[in-house]
Each structure stands twice: as C-alpha cells, then as structure tokens.
A and B are shown apart, each in its own frame.
Chain A
C-alpha cells in the first residue's frame, strides 16, 4: 500500500485564511521530503523541501513542519489566495544516501480557495 498518504483528500478554505495540508509517512528511513503543487493540465511545481535533520522550514507564505516521532509532515500556506487552488502532493525519498531522485508520492489533497 501507499507509504505516503494524506489525512484529507479535499480541503476548502476562504480566501485570506491559512491552510494546513497534512501528510503521513510510514518509512522511518526516509530522510528527504518535498511538497509539490499541481494545477490542472500542468506538471507538479516545487514548493518547498525539508531534510530529516530539520523540524521546520519556511518559504514565501509557506511553512513545512516535520514531526519524525509520529512520521507526520504538514504544509502551511498563509493568507491563502485563489491562485493556490490546486492538488498538493507530499513526497519522500527512502534513505537513498542523500539522493532524492526516487520520490514516492502520496495521493494528493485538492485545495479549493473560495473568494
């Protein structure tokens, strides 16, 4: 079965609210995690990544949190905008000695932002 999964397949938020997308992983050997955004008809777009030696990493309007104790990853989007509407995927590598080429993706969460 899937080793990377999402708690919520869909998430609907109001414009301006903060969004939190969750992801569970089962492989404790995974040492690299990455979030992608995929809009309809396009390929996945890199958002932010984090290595297992970190608990938190921030980007522009986004924050990724990693809890290795419970094997949980989350993506926080501040002040969500209509342009943030898309499917969000978390992905992991599985301890490939630092290499991140072989990513395992979850099923994705559909984020809908209501104006």
Chain B
C-alpha cells in the first residue's frame, strides 16, 4: 500500500512569494496533520484536519493556512514567505484521532 505522499519534494522560493504544498494520505485515513521541521530539531505541529474540518492549530502566524478536500487530501499554503520559513514540511495521516500518525517524506522548502 502507498504511504503518505507529498509534492513537490523540493521547492525554492524567494521572500514574499506564496507556496502551496500537497499531501495525499494513506488510503482510508481521514485525519491529516502538518508539521514544520527546521534542521536539527523535531517537527512542530502546524495544523490538523479531520473529515475536512480544522481540529487543531499550532503556534504559527496567519500566513499559514490549510484545507482538506473530500478525498481527504490536503494542501498547506504559506503566504508572504520569510527566510525563516525554510524547513522540511511534513504531512502525517491517521485513520482516526486516536491512532498513530504516519508521516510522508516531506517537502523541502528553501527561501532565498
């Protein structure tokens, strides 16, 4: 079975631009969470969606937004990119809220 898939794998943007990252959860998984991982640190929670509704939000500015589609795939959008947004963005999915999350390999975002 396919795991969590994310696209693109790498992306280079400049300051002030906008970016959209995509995630397809494992088949049958209805919960999708997004995390930011800065080099040398553990992932930090950004958003969680379950059944197309936002269920949780981490300590990130309003420049970060997300949504989940009827097929449970998800997009993370970041506006007005800053140098500090350079990171690995990870998507994780689970069947329900009380099951382990399984991660994709992430999108490496570099801001110049």
Q: Residues of A at under 8 Å CB distance from B?
A: 4, 34, 36, 41-46, 49, 89, 91, 96, 98-108
Contacts and interface: CB of A to CB of B under 8 A. Distances in A.
Nearest to B4: A43
B85 interface: no
Nearest to A104: B45
Interface of B: 4, 31, 33, 35, 40-45, 48, 50, 55-56, 58, 90, 92, 94, 97-106
A49 B106 CA distance: 22
B45 A102 contact: yes
Contacts of B48: 101-102
**10 closest cross-chain pairs (CB), A and B:** A105-B42, A43-B103, A99-B97, A101-B48, A43-B105, A44-B103, A102-B56, A98-B98, A42-B105, A46-B100
Nearest to B106: A43
B66 to A, nearest CB: 13
Contacts of B40: 107
B31 to A, nearest CB: 6
Contact of B42 (A43, A96, A106): A106
A62 to B, nearest CB: 14
Contacts of A89: 42-43
8 contacts: A4-B42, A41-B105, A43-B103, A98-B97, A100-B99, A101-B48, A103-B101, A104-B45
A54 to B, nearest CB: 14
B55 A105 contact: no
A45 B104 CA distance: 9
Contacts of A46: 100-103
A73 B14 CA distance: 41
